[in-house]
Amino acid sequence: MSDGGGAQESDAVGLLRALIREACVNDGRPDSGQEIRSVRVLQRFLAPAVAAGRIETQVLESAPGRASLIARVRGTDPSAPSLGLLGHLDVVPVDPEGWTRNPFGGDLIDGEIWGRGAVDMLYLTAAFAAVLRETALAPERPRGDLVLLAVADEEAGGEYGIHWLVREHPDAMRVSEALSESGGMRMGAHVAIEVAEKGSAGRRLVIRGKPGHASIPYGAASAAYRVGEVLQRLGEVAPAAQPSELWDAFVAARIGDPALAERLRDPVSIDAALPHLGGIAGYAHAVSRITLSPTVLRAGMTHNVIPAVGTIDLDIRTLPGTSDADVDQLLAAVLGPLIDEVEIQHLRGWAATASSAREPLFAAIERAVGAVAGAPVVPIMAAGGSDARVLRELGIPAYGFGLLGPDWTYERYREGVHGNDERIDVESVELSLAALRLIVAERVGGLVVE
């Protein structure tokens, strides 16, 4: 099939379009997602290699329809690396009115594949499956295992996906290193490869007042007013920047103005320099510090009762090495004199994770990106989260991979993720495929890449 220009689409592009059309939308409800549909697409794609006895597959359902596919090509050497290719099958909801085209059409127009999940992260899941099949059907078996981990529920936290899999089926998930999402965007002349993710340390602030009838407010103390006082304090006092080795690498790769780079390396002047960064300022702010974001406010049950209790839910994103105690101490410092009036409750969270950029897999990524794109790589931290952190928590080195085209700045990448008119160009799919083949050939063998 073609986009009207006569170009023949690759197996990976065809698979990407098919995955988009399955519309495995995950809105957080247990019965959403229904990733079994995309699992069936992958099973059909891998069927020739499965029939030839070259791939072992398992379909694992955590709940009806919440399916993940594990596909393994066995290597000949048990001591060789076992490389995992971790991709998710679910996508976030869409507002169809914000789209120029059908968000689940998988249209190929002027060299771009349109659809929800094209960037996040079905293009990589399709590339992973394509290279797995190529490796399985190659004349020589690989030295080490190559494993496709196509999982459910990443967009809602992974309870029906990777968390359930590592808990209930640890042998199926067995790999020694892994590639996943959140890499490949251009940082100046460099290609960004994610080596770390911020953690999450959600908190609920409980603020108490004195209730009363709303028609006679004198003598009452509305918790809603106190919620406002706490919000004002949160808006006025912010955590300080904490530059790190990854921050220095980001500044060196992305900031061409030496004077601005110097200001960004100084914790005292970072905040004043951020407005000069344009579209990447939000990312720079996020990865240079712990962030506190009030997200859900509650106070009162009915219009004629002055509320006795108000709550503020905080989305708190932490840096590597930050403990729960550190977060509580930071909150106490931010709230200052209001801390005695606030009860801090812990919500669900996880620690920040990082993989060393000195691991052999990262070196293989560097060589592959250099060979395909002629560009150096820069290790970066992701402000958000992905399933890769679960592997890192198990001690498995995991990196956010990809090789997007030269015009794919970080800003363009972020606009595509969860945005309207999400799409990815064929060039980026093919660049990622080319680099992935080199990485697989180096780490586990089997493929012959010219």
Q: What is the CATH number of the domain that holds 305?
A: 3.30.70.360
The residue out of 332, 350, 368 marking a domain boundary is: 350
* pLDDT of amino acid 9: 79
- The residue count of the chain comes to 450
- What is the arithmetic mean of pLDDT over 64-86? 97
283 and 265 within one domain: yes
**Residue range 197-212, pLDDT digits in tens:** 999 999 999 999 999 9
- Tell me the torsion sign for CA atoms 289, 162, 180, 34: negative
292 and 207 within one domain: yes
221 and 253 within one domain: yes
**Residue range 211-221, pLDDT digits in tens:** 999 999 999 99
Across the chain, mean pLDDT equals: 95
Q: Where are the beta strands (DSSP E) in 102-184?
A: 108-109, 112-114, 146-151, 177-180
- What is the arithmetic mean of pLDDT over 370-398? 96
* pLDDT of amino acid 5: 41
361 and 218 within one domain: no
Give the number of domains in the chain.
Answer: 2
1: pLDDT strictly greater than 50: no
369 and 346 within one domain: no
Domain housing 212: 197-350
170 and 26 within one domain: yes
- What is the arithmetic mean of pLDDT over 79-85? 97
Single out the residue of 59, 60, 68, 67 nearest to residue 87, CA to CA: 68
* pLDDT of amino acid 8: 61
378 and 288 within one domain: no
pTM: 0.93
* pLDDT of amino acid 449: 82
Angle subtended at Cα 179 by Cα 150 and Cα 20, rounded to the nearest 5 degrees:
40
In a domain, 449, yes or no: no
Single out the residue of 177, 427, 203 nearest to residue 314, CA to CA: 203
* pLDDT of amino acid 238: 86
**Residue range 332-376, pLDDT digits in tens:** 999 999 999 999 999 989 999 999 999 999 999 999 999 999 999
* pLDDT of amino acid 85: 98
Going by their DSSP bridges, the two strands 190-197 and 377-382 should be labelled as parallel
Query: What CATH number corresponds to the domain at position 60?
Result: 3.40.630.10
The residue out of 322, 350, 378 marking a domain boundary is: 350
Contact 193, 179 (CB under 8 A): no
335 and 315 within one domain: yes
Q: Which backbone phi and psi does 151 adopt, to 5 degrees?
A: -115, 160
173 and 53 within one domain: yes
Going by their DSSP bridges, the two strands 186-187 and 190-197 should be labelled as antiparallel
433: pLDDT strictly greater than 80: yes
**Residue range 86-144, pLDDT digits in tens:** 999 999 999 999 999 999 999 999 999 999 999 999 999 999 999 999 999 999 999 99
**Residue range 238-264, pLDDT digits in tens:** 899 999 999 999 999 999 999 999 999
